[in-house]
Amino acid sequence: MSAMLLNKEKWPEFVKKLTGKNLWAPKLDGEAMRFAPVAEGEEVSLDYGNTRVPPKGATFPQTETMYRFLVGNMEIEEPKMDEELVLLGVRPCDARAMKIIEKLFRWDYDDPYYLKRRELVTLVGLACTEPGLNCFCSSVGGAPDSSEGLDLLIYDLGDRFLLEAVTVKGETLIAETKELLTDSDASAVKAKDKLMADAGAKIRRTVDHDGIPEGLPGLWEDPLWKSVSASCIGCGTCTYLCPTCHCFDIQDEVEGFEGRRCRMWDSCMFEEYTLHTSGHNTRPTRRERTRNRINHKYNYFVDKFDVIACVGCGRCINLCPVNIDIVEILRRVKEAL
Partner 1 sequence: MSDNYEPNIVAFLCNWCSYAGADLAGTSRVQYPANIQVIRVMCSGRVNPLYVMNALQQGADGVLVSGCHPGDCHYMEGNFYARRRLGMLKDLMEFVGVDPKRFHMSWVSASEGHKWKEVVEKTVEDAREAGPFEGFRRRQIDW
Partner 2 sequence: MDLEQLRKTAAEVVARDDVKYLIGWKKGSYGYRVAPVFVEDAAGVAELIFSPLCTANLTTYLTLVEKTPLPRGQEADKRKVALMVKGCDSRAVVQLLVEKGIHREEVIVIGCPCPGVVDQSLLVEKYGDTEEPVEVKWNGDGFMLVRGGEEIKIPRDEVLAEKCRLCRYPNPVISDHLIGAEVEKWSPAEDSGVSELDAKDVDGRWEYWEEQFNKCIRCYSCRNVCPLCYCQDCILDRLNPTWINRAVNFSENTAFNISRAFHLAGRCIECGECERVCPANIPLGKINRKMAREVREKYGFEPGLDPEAEPFQASFKPDDPEDFIL
Partner 3 sequence: MTEKPKIGVYVCHCGINISATVDVETVADYALKLPNVEVARTYSYMCSDPGQSLIKNDIREHGLNRVIVASCSPRMHEPTFRKAIKEAGINPYYLEMANIREQCSWVHHDIDEGTAKSKKLVAASVAKVRLLEALESKEVDAEPSALVIGAGIAGIQAALDIADAGFKVYLVEKTPSVGGRMAQLDKTFPTLDCSACILTPKMVDCASHPNIELLSYSEVEEIGGYIGNFDIKVRKKARYVDFDKCTGCGDCAAECRVKDRFPSEFDMGMGKRSAVYLPFPQAVPAKYTIDPESCLYLTKGKCGKGPKCAEVCQAGAINFDQVDETVEFRVGAVIVATGFDPFDASRKPEYGYSDYPNVITGMEMERLVSASGPTGGKIKIFNGKEEIEPKEVAFIKCVGSRDESVGNEYCSRVCCMYVAKQAHLLRDKLPDANIRVYYMDVRAFGKGFEEFYDRVRRENVRYIRGNPSEIFKRGDKLVVKVEDTLTATPLEDEVDLVVLGVGLEPRADMRQTMELLRLSQSPDRFFLEAHPKLRPVDTATDGVFLAGCCQGPKDIPDTVAQAKGAASSAMIPLARGKVVISAQVATVDESTCRGCGFCVNICPYTAIELVTVNRFGHEVEVARVNEALCKGCGSCSPGCLSDSIQPKSFRDRQILPQIAALGVFK
Q: Which of 9, 13, 29, 185 binds partner 2 (CB under 8 A)?
A: 29
41 contacts partner 3 (rule: CB under 8 A): no
For partner 3, give the closer residue by CB, 220 or 257: 257
Instruction: Choose the contact partner of 70 out of partner 1, partner 3, partner 2, none; CB within 5 to 8 A by kind.
Output: partner 3
For residues 87 to 126, the per-residue mask of contacts with partner 2, x marking binding by CB under 8 A and - elsewhere, is: ----------------------------------------
Non-local CB neighbours of 115 within 8 Å, separated by 6+ positions: 102, 105, 106
The candidate with the shortest Cα–Cα distance to 311, out of 193, 148, 153, 165, is: 148
- The one segment of 63-71, 96-104, 149-157, 216-224 that binds partner 1 by CB under 8 A: 63-71
Q: Quick one: which segment of 13-21, 31-39, 40-48, 194-202 binds partner 2 (CB under 8 A)?
A: 31-39
Query: Binding to partner 2 by residue 270, rule CB under 8 A?
Result: yes
- Residues within window 184-213 making contact with partner 2, judged by CB under 8 A: 204-205
> Residue 17: what residue type?
K
CB of 14 to partner 1, least distance (A): 30
Query: Got the DSSP string for 259-316?
Result: EEEEEEE--TTSGGGGB-TTS-BSS-SHHHHHHHHHHIIIIIHHHHHSS-S-----HH
Nearest to 212 by CA among 292, 143, 297: 297
Figure out which of the listed residues 36, 46, 70, 235 binds partner 3, where binding follows CB under 8 A: 70
Give bridge partners of residue 40 from the DSSP assignment. none
Query: In the complex with partner 2, which residue's Cβ is closer, 188 or 199?
Result: 199
Nearest CA among 241, 288, 244, 298 for reference residue 268: 288
Residue 75 interacts with partner 3 (CB under 8 A): yes or no: no
Which residues touch 198 (CB under 8 Å, ≥6 apart)? 129
Which residues form the interface with partner 1 (CB under 8 A)? 63, 65, 68, 255-256, 258, 260
Which residues form the interface with partner 3 (CB under 8 A)? 70-73, 254-258, 279
